[in-house]
Structure 1
């Protein structure tokens, strides 16, 4: 099942470290079949306040997402970002193609004694 690395990035002023990080991150993802789905695109805020950048990277599964993040290649470039940018980074499994939110609601309702 597809897994995602999601970055909630607080914007900073561009500098050489951040530029080098952006230039080299793809090479760290390639061995794990990671690919950007969202990277630096403007967000349209429909509810709430979101004053950050969003990055979403897809991996074939959660194991490869974890392996990428822990890899020597990624850990080597990580300080280029963390020294300059505040961020929340998450790994999460996606849902299967046949996912049905109504079935999830039914399970939640039963577990909470609401149905």
Structure 2
């Protein structure tokens, strides 16, 4: 099942030059794990609540590949280039397949309506 690494970067302002080095090197850490950027630094159009800062979404073939990328020596080597200079949250999450049915999920959780 496709999985995603999602980052919400909450720190506005001038970006440190080491973040540029991180950006130059990150794709080579993603390639061995099938990772590819789906959203990269986009500002959200907030419809509900508050969401300061840009969003990054990287897709992976599955959750195992996403976890192996995050734990890989090549990514761990560049990680401080980002974390030392940007405040944010990062999560790994598994997606749903094309057969996902929210009505069936509601029935399973709450009984048939």
TM-score, normalised by the number of residues in structure 2: 0.94
* 1:15 equivalent in structure 2: 16
Segments of 5+ residues of structure 1 without an aligned counterpart are none
Which residue is 2:51 aligned to? 50
Residue 6 of structure 1: aligned partner = 6
Give the 5 Å matches for 1:65-76.
65-76=66-77
5+ long unaligned stretches in structure 2: none
Tell me, yes or no, if structure 1 residue 86 matches structure 2 residue 87. Answer: yes
Which residue of structure 2 lines up, in the alignment, with residue 103 of structure 1?
A: 104
Cα RMSD for the two superposed structures: 1.3
SS state at 2:43 partner? coil
Mapping for residues 17-36 of structure 1, pairs under 5 Å? 17-36=18-37
TM-fit CA distance, 1:63? 0.4
- Is the partner of 1:40 in helix, strand or coil? strand
TM-score, normalised by the number of residues in structure 1 = 0.92
By how many angstroms is 1:96 displaced?
0.9
Q: Equivalent residue of 1:41, what SS?
A: strand
SS state of the match for residue 19, structure 1?
Answer: helix
Q: Secondary structure at the match of 1:36?
A: strand
